[in-house]
């Protein structure tokens, strides 16, 4: 059997096998066994699908588009922003939070058992978890752009700050939000410890941005896409004073000037004021 062929930016040619199967001779109509054989399939990249999609109606083509399921005011804004930065075509489906609980609607549970966003659909693939989705899109559709490889001088910086977002930054905001809503006494030991952790995390981030334009260094990467939600939209759920961290403020100004970020936020949460100051 031949080898599969992947052409970057175009698509994948894959060799598939057909097993022996019953059939009939076209002349004698006698029962025969059709021998095993191979055939070739072609799956275009999302980029190519996006380019030919407007013309599909003229050629009776069915084009599968990468679909992003976005929950309003949520971490799934990361995925919309990533696709805008990479210029990856996508279909956006927006889900509204329950007006009473502010939780995800049942429609998201129909896509994934946890019922959370983001979720993407790419052909037969259904994938959740924003970090996993970011890596998938970068590697499958983005030709590795916005990630730093092992040979890059800032590779370990990129790794650390990419995982810092879901390993430290977002969790410490979540814990502070829940403890604040629990109306604990101001001198509660757990509350004070969690508040202290938040201060240390934000100070670390602010210090990192003292001499670096972006988290991995001077180059914008997916590490930034992973972290900005916690510094902006998350403040709708847990308010904190950004004025204490001047380098983070300057950083968010650089982010807000990016055309892809502006497009993404207009599409994902068009009526939501951005908390950038």
CATH number of the domain within which 32 lies: 4.10.520.10
The verdict on 161 and 261 lying in the same domain is yes
Where the chain has pLDDT below 70, the residues are 1-2, 9, 16, 18, 21, 23-29, 39, 41-64
Q: Which of 167, 164, 181 is nearest to 238 (CA)?
A: 181
Structural domain range at position 23: 5-44
User: What DSSP letter does each residue of 22-85 carry, written as one string?
Assistant: EEE-TTT--EEEEPPEEEEEEEE-HHHHHHHGGGHHHHT------EEEEESSSTTHHHHHHHHH
For residue 50, being part of any structural domain is answered with no
For residue 277, being part of any structural domain is answered with no
The verdict on 187 and 237 lying in the same domain is yes
**Residue that finishes a domain, picked among 90, 110, 140:** 140
The verdict on 130 and 163 lying in the same domain is no
What tokens appear for 227 in the block?
A: 């972290």
The verdict on 172 and 114 lying in the same domain is no
For residue 53, being part of any structural domain is answered with no
**Residue that finishes a domain, picked among 88, 112, 140:** 140
- Split into its structural domains, the chain has a count of 3
For residue 148, being part of any structural domain is answered with no
The CATH number covering residue 122 comes to 3.40.30.10
pTM for the full predicted model = 0.77
What pLDDT is attached to residue 96?
A: 83
- At 71-107, the pLDDT tens digits run 888 999 999 999 999 999 999 998 888 777 778 878 8
The verdict on 12 and 113 lying in the same domain is no
The CATH number covering residue 204 comes to 1.20.1050.10
- At 169-193, the pLDDT tens digits run 999 999 999 999 999 999 999 999 9
The verdict on 75 and 134 lying in the same domain is yes
For residue 149, being part of any structural domain is answered with no
In contact, 118 and 75? CB cutoff 8 Å? yes
For residue 237, being part of any structural domain is answered with yes
The verdict on 192 and 255 lying in the same domain is yes
What pLDDT is attached to residue 57?
A: 47
The verdict on 221 and 252 lying in the same domain is yes
Which DSSP letter does residue 199 get? H
Q: Is 106 exposed, middle or buried (0-12, 13-18, 19+ CB in 10 A)?
A: exposed
Distance CA 253, CA 173 (A): 21
Q: Give the three-state DSSP class for 44.
A: strand
Q: How many CB atoms lie within 10 A of CB 64?
A: 15
The verdict on 116 and 78 lying in the same domain is yes
Q: Is 183 exposed, middle or buried (0-12, 13-18, 19+ CB in 10 A)?
A: exposed
Q: Is 176 exposed, middle or buried (0-12, 13-18, 19+ CB in 10 A)?
A: middle
For residue 180, being part of any structural domain is answered with yes
Distance CA 214, CA 227 (A): 11
The verdict on 30 and 78 lying in the same domain is no
For residue 118, being part of any structural domain is answered with yes
The verdict on 107 and 176 lying in the same domain is no
The verdict on 264 and 160 lying in the same domain is yes
């Amino acid at each position: 059997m031949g080898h599969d062929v992947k052409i970057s930016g175009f698509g994948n040619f894959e060799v598939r096998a057909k097993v022996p199967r019953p059939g009939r001779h076209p002349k004698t109509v006698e029962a025969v066994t059709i021998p095993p054989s191979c055939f070739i399939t072609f799956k275009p990249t999302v980029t190519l699908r996006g380019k030919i999609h407007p013309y599909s109606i003229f050629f009776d083509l069915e084009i599968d588009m990468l679909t992003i399921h976005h929950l309003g005011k949520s971490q799934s804004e990361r995925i919309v922003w990533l696709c805008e930065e990479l210029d990856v075509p996508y279909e956006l489906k927006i889900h509204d939070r329950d007006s009473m609980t502010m939780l995800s609607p049942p429609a998201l549970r129909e896509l994934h058992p946890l019922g959370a966003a983001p979720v993407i659909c790419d052909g037969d693939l259904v994938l959740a978890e924003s970090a996993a989705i970011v890596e998938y899109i970068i590697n499958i559709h983005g030709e590795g752009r916005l990630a730093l490889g092992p040979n890059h001088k800032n590779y370990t910086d990129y790794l650390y700050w990419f995982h810092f977002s879901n390993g430290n930054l977002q969790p410490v905001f979540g814990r502070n939000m829940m403890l604040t809503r629990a109306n604990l006494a101001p001198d509660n030991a757990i509350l004070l410890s969690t508040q202290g952790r938040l201060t240390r995390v934000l100070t670390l981030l602010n210090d990192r941005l003292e001499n670096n334009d972006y988290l991995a260094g001077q180059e914008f990467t997916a590490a930034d896409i992973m972290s900005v939600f916690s510094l902006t939209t998350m403040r709708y759920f847990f308010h904190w004073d950004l004025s204490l961290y001047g380098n983070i403020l300057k950083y968010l100004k650089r982010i807000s000037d990016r055309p892809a970020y502006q497009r993404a936020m207009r599409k994902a949460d068009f009526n939501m004021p951005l908390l950038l100051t």
